[in-house]
């Protein structure tokens, strides 16, 4: 091979080598660009996805912990609600010192734990109570009225007498007496209603009214008629409810809320005992008369109560499943407390 051919070949190899280096450099740059763009972006995406996944797991973990905490608290509350008294006694607590939350009564002035509400009283001297009940009922209610009066008069604290007047649906109160009426008062949501009027600084009862709502009771059983009559008269003497939970076992008194009125048509010995706590007994020192009300007191009372409006315009003091209590200030020192027995 001559020198010219050798030189030509060397020149060709150099060009080939340059081309190869150029290709290699371009490939290196392409790889570098891919590393800077594609792979890194993929890494970022993987990191972000991992971060979102971790956040989701953390959220689910916190939600799970919160749900478990709520379930534990709810279970604890139910445990305390239903078994609080037993737990209290189990740790050596005195049942009489239970917190107010566990007491059935919302205000028990006598303190024997047998009532739900306020005890109130007619003014007397502690030797029993003599009271006249005015029958302003239609004749078909006489049998229930007479039986209820007879039942309550068995209390050693009471000496009851009755008088009759023409049926009166409005049932205007009479100073110093309890009036009992019936009528179709409409779909008022109550079967029985009692009004107690207080007068003076000592807040003694000076009059009471009991109403039977025929709009509900007209188609009710004789047992419910007797139950409602006895119930409303009991309020008129100043007694509150004994139990307001109809799911509890019946107490056998008409001052118990019940779904079985036939089992709770009359007062019981505890009702008589409560009356004795309020008024004393008639066998102790004779019969105590009510405070004598002069004509001026009576006239003023009748004038003020004639202006009374619907009890619902008063202040709602208490509400439960079958009971509402309203307070109305009528004027001067006369106050009206209305208790309604709600229909089932």
Residue 173 C-alpha from the chain's centroid? 30
Judged on CB neighbours under 10 Å (0-12, 13-18, 19+), 61 is exposed
pTM of the model: 0.64
238 conformational bin, left if phi > 0, alpha if psi -120 to 50, beta if neither: left
Q: Does residue 275 register a pLDDT over 80?
A: yes
Largest CA distance in the chain: 162
- What is the rounded average pLDDT of the residues 228-236? 96
Average pLDDT, the chain: 77
Q: How far apart are CA 234 and CA 133, in angstroms?
A: 12
Query: What is the structure's pLDDT at 193?
Result: 93
Tens digit of pLDDT for each residue in 49-75?
454 455 555 556 665 666 676 666 656
Average pLDDT of the residues in 256-279: 92
Higher pLDDT, 14 or 96: 14
Inform me whether the pLDDT recorded for 144 exceeds 80.
yes
With a cut of 50, say whether residue 85 has pLDDT above it: no
Say yes or no to pLDDT of 106 above 90.
no
Is residue 301 over pLDDT 70?
yes
Using alpha carbons, select from 197, 202, 141, 143 the residue that is nearest to residue 169. 141
Distance between CA atoms of residues 262 and 278, nearest Å: 28
- The Cα 270–Cα 155 span in angstroms is 10
Using the predicted structure, report yes or no on whether residue 80 has a pLDDT greater than 60: no
Listing DSSP states for 170-213 in one string gives: S----TTSEEEEEE---S-SEEEEEEEEEETTTTEEEEEEEEEE
CB 195 within 8 A of CB 236: no
If you average pLDDT over each of 7-16, 156-165, 198-207, 289-298, which comes out highest?
Answer: 156-165
* Chosen CATH of 115-342 out of 3.40.50.2300, 3.40.390.10, 3.30.413.10, 3.40.1370.10: 3.40.390.10
**What pLDDT is stored for residue 249 in this prediction?**
86
Q: Write down the pLDDT at residue 238.
A: 93
Take residue 93 and report the two structure tokens written for it: 């607590």
By the 8 A CB rule, do 194 and 331 touch?
A: no
- What DSSP line would sit under 268-323, residue for residue? -HHHHHHHHHHH--HHHHSPPPPPP--HHHHHHHHHHHTT---GGGSEEEEEETTE
pLDDT band at 283, cuts 50/70/90?
Answer: low
């Amino acid at each position: 091979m001559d020198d010219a051919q050798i030189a030509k070949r060397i020149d060709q190899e150099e060009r080939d080598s340059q081309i190869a280096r150029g290709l290699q450099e371009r490939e290196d740059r392409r790889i570098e660009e891919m590393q800077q763009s594609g792979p890194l972006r993929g890494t970022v995406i993987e990191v972000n996805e991992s971060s979102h996944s971790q956040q989701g797991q953390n959220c689910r973990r916190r939600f799970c912990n919160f749900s478990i905490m709520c379930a534990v608290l709810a279970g604890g509350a139910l445990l305390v609600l239903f078994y609080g008294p037993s737990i209290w006694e189990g740790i050596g607590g005195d049942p009489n010192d239970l917190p107010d939350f566990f007491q059935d009564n919302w205000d028990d002035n006598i303190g024997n734990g047998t009532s739900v509400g306020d005890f109130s009283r007619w003014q007397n001297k502690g030797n029993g109570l003599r009271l006249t009940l005015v029958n302003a009922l239609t004749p078909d209610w006489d049998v229930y009225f007479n039986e209820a009066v007879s039942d309550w008069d068995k209390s050693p604290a009471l000496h009851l007498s009755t008088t009759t007047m023409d049926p009166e649906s409005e049932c205007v109160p009479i100073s110093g007496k309890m009036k009992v009426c019936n009528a179709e008062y409409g779909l008022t949501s109550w079967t029985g209603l009692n009004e107690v009027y207080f007068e003076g600084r000592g807040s003694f009862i000076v009059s009471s009214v009991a109403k039977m709502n025929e709009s509900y009771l007209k188609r009710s059983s004789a047992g419910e008629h007797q139950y409602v009559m006895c119930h409303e008269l009991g309020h008129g003497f100043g007694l509150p409810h004994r139990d307001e939970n109809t799911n509890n076992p019946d107490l056998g008194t008409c001052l118990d809320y019940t779904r079985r009125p036939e089992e709770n048509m009359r007062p019981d010995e505890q009702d008589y005992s409560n009356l004795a706590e309020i008024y004393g007994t008639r066998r102790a020192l004779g019969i105590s008369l009510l405070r004598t009300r002069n004509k001026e007191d009576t006239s003023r009372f009748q004038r003020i109560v004639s202006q009374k409006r619907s009890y619902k315009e008063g202040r709602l003091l208490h509400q439960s499943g079958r009971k509402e209590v309203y307070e109305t200030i009528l004027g001067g020192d006369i106050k009206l407390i209305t208790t309604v027995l709600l229909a089932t």
